[in-house]
Structure 1
């Protein structure tokens, strides 16, 4: 796995991973602040400084998974400070994945311009742009999985009728074990792969896979 080609890719992917995870957590913190909770701001998390957000194991997992999924330190939120807590929690949770989708779209548009114009760009720059598309789409949809503690679990909790909350709570008790199973068996790619590839084609076009 750790051959010269992987190490070269890891070196190029590293700044994209750091940037993408940082933006993800920043938008969680910013949205919480906008809804009235300054907890993250008070703890120095309302920043684009990667050191404030990075989780060692979550970052390492990004590399071990072939740049397909990972995580940063969760942003602390005090629900008692939020205006309209249910709506606020939904948007706070959604803000991270949405920020990654937005970044993937921007990187994809840059790639389309380069591909359409047949522009000659350094290989490292092209790799950064392509990683910007694939890593951000992967992060977005990994975090949208409705298993605790991922963002998708909070989103699901807030869109389901309140009468299902107790059943969901019981299910979420087992979520970390399901999540661990999916990570260990590398089942994520079989579940998310087709979705990720579809969005890569949507944002960056077929040239992303076949060259130009």
Structure 2
């Protein structure tokens, strides 16, 4: 991808990426406070200000590199700190705190789909920019949702699985968290991540076309 093309892609993806990451992390913070943990709130992370959630490497550098390479757009934000022990019902409420991030991405996925439908119906001179940005918003939020639902700690899917397991199995499963990011990077490097997620991408896009 040449520099001009990269600039165009960044222009299209910037707003959807910032919204996807900001609302994902803010949803975790809101859910944590709702169930009894004020840690993220007191640290100023229950906010829609993207600057509070941006990680220079994970939110800026890595997505730019993967966008330049033309492959799977990968990145992360600063994780919202959650004291699961402070939740009123740590296992049950921890599950909802973990699910809040992907749920926010799902809500944004539906929102961008409606905007795409509006763009395709024709909205004057804004139809084409809105179409491109909506398509980017759909792709980003679907990617973040599916990626975070993988049953790998410390991803949200791993947190959900951990909360559902019996205590003895949950403890053993929790010991895998130290290897989680290495497992994820290995899946990306070998191309297995795309193969694992592809069927879910196809299913979700099919459902979106069916309903919208």
Q: Aligning the two structures, in what range does the TM-score lie when normalised by the shorter sequence?
A: 0.7 to 0.9
8 Å CA contact 2:29–2:80 kept in 1: the answer is yes
2: distance between equivalents of 1:6 and 1:145? 29
- The match for 1:61 is 62
Asked whether 1:139 is paired with 2:139, we answer: no
Once the two structures are TM-superposed, the CA of residue 165 in structure 1 deviates from its matched residue by 1.7
* Structure 1 position 184, deviation (Å): 2.7
Q: State whether structure 2 residue 110 is matched by structure 1 residue 110.
A: no
Distance 1:95 1:109, change over 3 A: same
Q: Which residue matches 2:205?
A: 200
Q: CA–CA distance in 2 between the matches of 1:13 and 1:188?
A: 22
Q: Go from structure 1 to structure 2 and tell me whether the alpha carbon gap of 1:62 and 1:96 turns closer, same or farther (over 3 Å shift).
A: same
Q: Residue 137 of structure 1: CA displacement?
A: 0.6
C-alpha separation between the residues in 2 aligned to 1:96 and 1:2?
34
- In the superposition, relative to structure 1, how do residues 11 and 119 fare at CA in structure 2: closer, same or farther (>3 Å)? closer
CA contact (8 A) 2:119 2:127 kept: no
Distance of aligned partners of 1:65 and 1:187 in 2 relative to their CA distance in 1, 3 Å threshold: farther
Q: Which residue of 1 aligns with 2:17?
A: 17
Q: Does the residue aligned with 2:92 lie in a helix, a strand or coil?
A: helix
- Over 3 Å counting, the alpha-carbon distance change for 1:193 and 1:124 in structure 2 is same
Q: Distance in 2 between matches of 1:4 and 1:186?
A: 28
Native 8 Å contact 1:104 1:132 kept in 2: yes
Whole-Å separation in 2 of the counterparts to 1:91 and 1:101: 15
Cα contact 1:69–1:142 (8 A) shared by 2: no
User: Structure 1 pair 17/68, CA: closer, same or farther in 2 (3 Å)?
Assistant: same
Cα displacement string for residues 39-72 of structure 1 (whole angstroms, at most 9, x for unaligned residues): 1011010100000011122113233334633211
RMSD, aligned CA: 2.1
Tell me the CA shift for residue 177 of structure 1.
1.8
Q: Flag structure 2 segments of 5+ consecutive residues without an equivalent.
A: none
Provide the residue aligned with 2:91 in structure 1.
86
Residues 1:2 and 1:143: Cα distance change in structure 2 (over 3 Å): farther
Measure how far apart 1:173 and its partner are.
3.4
Secondary structure, in 3 states, of the residue corresponding to 1:195?
Answer: helix
Q: For residue 3 of structure 1, report the CA deviation from its aligned partner.
A: 4.4
